[in-house]
Amino acid sequence: MKNLKRNLTMLTDFYELTMTNGYFLSGMKDKIVYFDVFFRSNPDHGGFAIAAGLEQIVEYINDLCFDDDDIAYLRTKGCFSEEFLDYLRAFRFTGDVWAIPEGTVVFPGEPLMTVRAPVMEAQFIETYVLMMINHQCLIATKAARIVRAAKGRTVSEFGSRRAQGADAAILGARAAYIGGCHSTACAIADEVYGVPAGGTMAHAWVQMFDTEYEAFRTYCEIYPENATLLIDTYNVMESGLPNAIRAFKEVLLPKGITKCAVRLDSGDVTYLTKKIRKKLDEEGLTDCKIVVSNSLDEYIIRELIRQGAEVDGFGVGERLITAKSDPVFGGVYKLCAMEREDGTVQPKIKISENVGKITTPHFKKIYRLRGRDTGKAEADLICVYDETVDDTRPIELFDPEHTWKRKILENFTATELQVQVFKNGKQVYALPTLEEIRRHCAEEIEGMWEEVRRFTNPHNYYVDLSEKLWQIKHDMIAEHRKIK
């Protein structure tokens, strides 16, 4: 596979540098802190999101270093001490990272990643970590919605030309594949990550020939095993479809090839595909598939299927690669704890007038509770790091906001969601293959109740706090009010 590695150390918000310089000059560079990465709401008012982007974060942390050009640039800013710049020459990440594996179904408020490191290191990586998680989680989640709407029909990601830059196209294709898309139009995403790339023709191919039939015949002769013909350059039913049928019959069928397809990129999809299917079947081309594209999303696809459109595959572009309906994932990176000199963990909380922005303090772990008899996820439980869930005994869960809402859960399994990725700056987690991540994602979605998977008014899946963590959080809020 092609290597796209670059030194992206300086891809950071400038205030990360001013803060790390300040920590250095304040004698705090060795202070151990904990940061959580989490998001506050699901995209498109959905029931869940999909974790993605970890592989690129691992690569970034492994490669983290300042080169001579970086140091020279920082010196020109005039706000950094020479001692700090000398320190940066040997800067490496030496901390610990825990993360929820890519492809896992995740929910608001859960730490997708926890970073424990000296404050300068933990603070500095914030920008890149959020960029990767916010982008790829968003696209993987959108792709999962679109694939579910397609109900088993193929979905290809077609969005490179509408993506906001090269990385958005390449990593967007990767995330879309994790979310369930079958292929991409982005060739480099195949070369670099192994996302299957495919494609046939644009309208320009048809226009380049004297006749539509000549364009179709020539294409079939060159690519007999992959003949998908775009039939809406001029008139779908009057010329496009008849010429495609003629080319298939004259070029493919004599070779014994029945596998072929037509693509529609405009018009009334439901009406046209019904007429196309009827005509193809009448002509004996029952194996010929019908593929449609043109500004599709999960809602349009769902409606087309409801109306009985005869579609075998969808090409989805701009509304997937940009997550057009809800283009901001909203992940944040917040301090949740510090270590005292004796090694004990001191929880930290951010208080806000906006209740939704009050953070959950402490170094935490997350359990997913699944029914033993159903295999379905029932709830997630966020605990203090030193707590353990005993799944041999019933457990009482309660709504963290409405504590009178309580439920006894029995006959369940408890699985920790986070895995350790870095220990003392060394990678200790073997990154799964993209195919493994994609399979894991499909299994995770299948492990959710149908009510959680709904597009409209999904069931509110509960992410609960343990009694211990809830009490710590509310004691800290009360203490803050007392100080005020």
What does the alpha-carbon distance between residue 197 and residue 454 come to, in Å, rounded to a whole number?
30
**Domain segments of the chain: what residues?**
14-139+327-483, 200-293
Burial 212-246 (b: 16+ CB within 10 A, else e): bbebbbebbeeeeeebbbbbbbeebeebbbbbbbe
According to the model, what pLDDT value does residue 67 have?
A: 94
Buried b (16+ CB within 10 A) or exposed e, 22-44: ebbeeeebebbbbbbbbbebbbb
Can you say whether the dihedral through the CA atoms of 380, 384, 386, 387 is positive or negative? negative
Paired residues of 332 in beta bridges: 38
Contacts of residue 408, defined as CB under 8 A and 6 or more positions apart, other chains included, come to 394, 395, 396, 397
Q: Tell which residue, 168, 85, 83, has the closest CA to residue 134.
A: 168
CB 320 within 8 Å of CB 292: no
Q: What is the pLDDT of residues 112-170, one digit of tens each?
A: 999 999 999 999 999 999 999 999 999 999 999 999 999 999 999 999 999 999 999 99
Cα–Cα distance for residue pair 238/92, rounded to 1 Å: 66
Q: Helix axis angle, 126-150 relative to 166-178, nearest 10°?
A: 50
pTM: 0.95
For 244, the token pair is 């495609």
Pairing verdict, β 288-292 and 260-264: parallel
Q: Which residue reads 């959108």 in tokens?
A: 142
Q: How far apart are the first and last CA of the chain?
A: 58
- Evaluate whether 394 touches 345 at the Cβ level (below 8 Å): no
- Judged by DSSP in three states, 260 sits in strand
Let me know if the fold of 14-139+327-483 is the same as that of 200-293.
no
How would DSSP label each residue in 274-313?
HHHHHHHHHTT-TTEEEEE-SS--HHHHHHHHHTT---SE
d(C-alpha 239, C-alpha 73), whole Å: 61
Degrees to nearest 5, angle at CA 466 with 461 and 471: 125
Instruction: Provide CB contacts within 8 A for 255, sequence distance 6+.
Output: 224
Over its C-alpha atoms, the chain yields an Rg (Å, rounded) of: 26
Q: What is the pLDDT of residue 400?
A: 83
Task: Please check whether the domain covering 14-139+327-483 is classified as CATH 3.20.140.10.
Answer: yes
- Which positions of the chain have pLDDT values less than 50? none
Q: Taking a C-beta distance cutoff of 8 angstroms, is the pair 247, 209 a contact?
A: no
User: Over the stretch 70-92, which tens digit does the pLDDT of each residue have?
Assistant: 999 999 999 999 999 999 999 99
Q: Cα dist. 436→99, 101, 103, 134, 375 in Å?
A: 17, 11, 9, 21, 20
- Fold entry, domain 200-293: TIM Barrel (3.20.20)
pLDDT value of position 352 = 82
CB 43 within 8 A of CB 142: yes
Identify the helix (H) or strand (E) that includes residue 134: helix 126-150
How confident is the model at residue 1, as a pLDDT?
60
* Inter-residue contact 239 to 212 (CB < 8 Å): yes
